[in-house]
Amino acid sequence: MLFSLFILFVSLPSLAQRDLEADYPGVGGSAIESVSTTLPEYVKYVFNFAIWIAGALSLFFLVYGGFLYLTSAGNPSKMQDAKDQIIASLLGIAILGGSYAILNTINPALTKFETPDLEKFEIPEIIHHEFKPEILTEINVEIPPETIIKEKLFEEERMKKIMEFGVELTELAEDSIKNSLNLQNDSQKCKCDYGSDPPPGCTRATCVGKCEKEETEDGKIKCIDSCRGESCTSDPCCQVREDIDENKVANRTNISEGFLPLIKEAEKEVQELNLDMDRLKKSMSLISDCDFLGGNLKTFDQFKSSKGYYMDEKDIKVKQIEYWEEIDPGSNPVSFYCSVGGTIQNYLGDSSDMSEEEIIEYYDSALQTEENFDMSCSIPIPFGELVDKSLATTTELIGEIEKIIQTGEKMIEAIDLLHQKVSECTSIHCSPVCCCGVECKCDPCGCVGSPCPDEEIRKAVEKIQEVYKGIEKIQDKIEEIIKEGIPEIKENLSKLEERTRVCVSEEKVAPGAVFLNCESSIGCIGPGGYILQNSSMCSCSASAVCEEEFPVLDNYSCQILGDCNEFNFFCCRLKD
C-alpha cells in the first residue's frame, strides 16, 4: 500500500495535465471524480478502500468458516479448522474496527485527511527606538608591552641577579675542583703495604694454615711451610682518612648549600621570564585583536586626549582597567588602550537627523580600507620589530640560564662519581702475604697491590675540570647579553617613545600628523619615498633612515612574532 501511495504522489503532476483514465468507485463517502483531487483526498480514498476491502475479506472468511463447520459432518479435525477460521475472522474484524476507533479517539483528524486552510501571515512593521543610556561610559583595558619589556623582562635587579648566577657557579666549581684534586692526591697516598707491624687501623694481612718443624737426616730442624694469606683488613687510607673526609664534606656542602639552591633559583627565574614573555606575547595579541581603524586602539597620549574630550565635552565617564594588576604602565607613551566595553558601545549618538541610508553609508565609509589618502609616512616607528627583538633576546638569555642549570647538574653528577670512586679505596683490592717466621710460626708479612681505582679517579677529576671549562663561556655570553644587547634595546625603545610622543602628544604633535599601523599605511608613501605595498615594506631594514635611527634592527628578521612588521607604526601626514 505504501508503494501505491508513493506512485500516486509521484504521478500527481502528470495526472493534473489529463483526464481520468478509469472510474473509481465511491467508498465510505469519498470518491475520485477529477484530476484536481488533492493528495490528502487520494490518501483518504486509499485508506477507506483498504478498510472496505479488509472488512469484506473478514466477512467472507467468517461465512466460509461457517460453511466449513456445517459441512464437517462430525469430523473433529474439520470442525476444529472451521472454528479456527471463524475465530481468526472475528479477531480480524475486531482489530480493524478497534484500530479505527482508537485513531478516531486520539484525533479525529487522523481518519479525515483534510487539508487545513493557511492563514495569511502579516509581517509586523519594524519600529526603531532611539535609546540613550542614563550614564554613558567607556571602559578601556591597558596594554603595556613596553612596560613589560623594561620593568619586567629587563628589570635591572633581575639582570644583576642573573649575572650573579654565572659568578656563583664559577666560584662553586673552582672550589669543587680544588677539593677534588685534594681527594685525588689523598687517594694516591693510600697503600696496601704497611709491613708486618702496621700502624693501628691500617691494612693488616690475615693468615691461615701453619708452619711445622721437621728434623732432617743430618739432625737439623726444618720448617715445613703450609702458611697462606686469607685477606687484608682495615683501612689502606688510614693515614689520610681525615683529609679525605674533610674534602668530601666540603664538596657535599658545595652541593647542598651552593649548586642545588643555585639550580632551584635559576629554574625559578626561567619560569618567571617565560611568564613575562607570555604576557608580552599576549599584549601583542590584544593589540592585534583591537580594532585600530575603528579607533578602539589608542596610545597613552591619544587615550589621555580622548578621555579629557569625552569627559569635558560629551559627559562620558571613561574608565581604565589593568589587564595585569602587578604591571602599571604609568605614562609610558608606548602603552596602548583598547575600548572593550561600556554603555557607549551600544549607543550611536543622536541619529535623529540621519536617515537609515545615511547611517549605512557612514559605516561603509568607516570600514572602507581599499584606498588611502595621499599621505607621507616618513617617520618609521618599528614597534613590532623591537618587541620581537626583545623576545628573541630574552629567549637567548633563558637558553644561557638553562645552560647554568645543566652545568650545575653535571658538576653534581661528576662530584658524586668522584666520591664513589674514592670510596672504593678499600683493602679488598689488596693481596695478603704470609710466611713462616724464625720460630716457624705462620705470621703476616704484609699486603701488596693498589687499594684505589686510580685511573677511574683520574677520569672523574678530569670530568669535573671539563664541565668547569664551559662555565666561563656561559658567563661571558650572559655578560654580553646583559651589558651590551639589552642596553641597546632599551636605548632604541627610548627613541621609539620619543617618536611616538612627537606623533600623538598634544604638546609635541606635528601639524597634520597621524599615527598609523602597518596595515593602514599600505598605499602611503614610505620613509624612502617608495609606496608601501605590503607588510615586509614596513620593516625597519626597508628604510635606511630607520636602520640609522635603530641600529639594533640592522638587517633584523622576525623570530618570535611571525610577521612582526605588522605591529610597526608610522607617523604620517597629508602631502602638501
74-125 residue pLDDT tens: 677 777 777 787 888 788 777 877 777 777 777 666 666 565 555 555 655 5
Q: How far apart are CA 176 and CA 463, in angstroms?
A: 12
Tell me the average pLDDT across 487-496: 92
Query: Lowest mean pLDDT: which of 154-168, 192-206, 290-304?
Result: 290-304
Q: In the structure, what pLDDT confidence band is assigned to residue 246 with cuts at 50, 70 and 90?
A: very high
Could you tell me what percent of the chain has a pLDDT over 70?
78
Average the pLDDT over 529-552 and give the result. Answer: 86
pLDDT confidence tier of residue 21, bands split at 50, 70 and 90 = low
Whether the per-residue pLDDT at 352 is higher than 60: the answer is no
Over the stretch 266-284, which tens digit does the pLDDT of each residue have? 999 999 999 999 999 999 9
User: In whole angstroms, what is the distance from residue 515 CA to residue 460 CA?
Assistant: 63
Q: What is the pLDDT of residues 26-60, one digit of tens each?
A: 655 566 656 566 666 667 767 777 777 777 777 78
Distance CA 328, CA 326 (A): 6
Assign 3-state DSSP to the chain and report helix, strand, coil percentages, each to 5: 55, 15, 30
Lowest mean pLDDT among 227-231, 271-275, 348-352: 348-352
Cell of 408: 650545575
In terms of DSSP H, where are the helices of 353-453? 356-367, 383-423
- Angle subtended at Cα 247 by Cα 246 and Cα 252, rounded to the nearest 5 degrees: 100
Secondary structure of residue 436 in the 3-state scheme: strand
Rg value, the chain, Cα? 51
61 sits in which H/E element: helix 39-70
| pLDDT range class, residue 474, cuts 50, 70, 90 | very high
Would you list the DSSP string of 317-371?
EEEEEESSTT---TT-TT-EEEEEESGGGG-----TTS-HHHHHHHHHHHH--S-
- CA dihedral angle for residue 91, residue 94, residue 97, residue 100, rounded to 10 degrees: -80
pLDDT at position 369: 41
| Type and span of the H or E element at 54 | helix 39-70
Mean local confidence (pLDDT), 526-554:
86
From residue 28, how far is each of 44, 50, 95, 163 by CA, in Å? 10, 11, 19, 103
Instruction: Report pLDDT digits (tens) over 110-122.
Output: 666 565 555 555 6
**Better-predicted residue by pLDDT, 228 or 350:** 228
Distance CA 351, CA 107 (A): 55
Give pLDDT, residue 555.
Answer: 86
Distances 505 to 297, 514, 563, 571 between C-alpha atoms, Å: 15, 11, 28, 12
Q: What is the pTM of this model?
A: 0.67
Residue whose C-alpha cell reads 580594532 in the numeric block: 291
Q: d(Cα 517, Cα 494) in Å, to the nearest integer?
A: 19
Residue 455 exposure: Cα atoms within 13 Å on the Cβ side: 0
Residue 22 pLDDT class (50, 70, 90 cuts): low
DSSP state of 151: I
Judge whether residue 176 has pLDDT over 50: yes
Q: Which helix or strand (DSSP H or E) is residue 287 part of?
A: helix 260-289
Instruction: Say which DSSP state 115 is in.
Output: P
User: CB burial class (10 A; 0-12, 13-18, 19+) of residue 482?
Assistant: buried
pLDDT for the residue numbered 501: 82
* C-alpha to C-alpha distance for 303 and 333, rounded to whole angstroms: 10
Cβ proximity of 568 and 539 under 8 Å: yes
Instruction: Tell me the average pLDDT across 371-380.
Output: 72
Question: For residue 112, what pLDDT is reported?
Answer: 62
- Of 316 and 507, the structure prediction assigns the larger pLDDT to 316
Could you tell me which residues come within 8 angstroms of residue 192 by beta carbon, excluding any fewer than 6 positions away? 203, 232, 236, 427, 429, 430, 431, 446, 447, 448, 449, 450, 451
Q: How many CA atoms lie within 13 A of 521 on its CB side?
A: 32
Residue with the three cell numbers 481468526: 88
pLDDT number for residue 119 = 58
Q: What are phi and psi for residue 219, nearest 5 degrees?
A: 90, 5
All cell numbers assigned to 526: 614610505
Cα dihedral 66, 68, 71, 72 sign: negative
Residue 290 has what pLDDT?
82
- Please name the helix (run of DSSP H) or strand (run of DSSP E) that holds residue 479, with its range, or none: helix 454-480
Instruction: Report the SS3 class of residue 260.
Output: helix
| Residue 358 φ then ψ, to 5° | -70, -40
Say whether pLDDT at 510 is over 60: no
| Model confidence band, residue 245 (pLDDT cutoffs 50, 70, 90) | very high
More confident residue, 430 or 53: 430
pLDDT (mean) for 193-220: 81
Q: Please state which of the ranges 161-165, 313-317, 354-358, 399-403 shows the lowest mean pLDDT.
A: 354-358
Q: Mean pLDDT for the chain?
A: 80
The residues near 388 (Cβ < 8 Å, ≥ 6 apart) are 556, 558, 559, 560, 561, 564
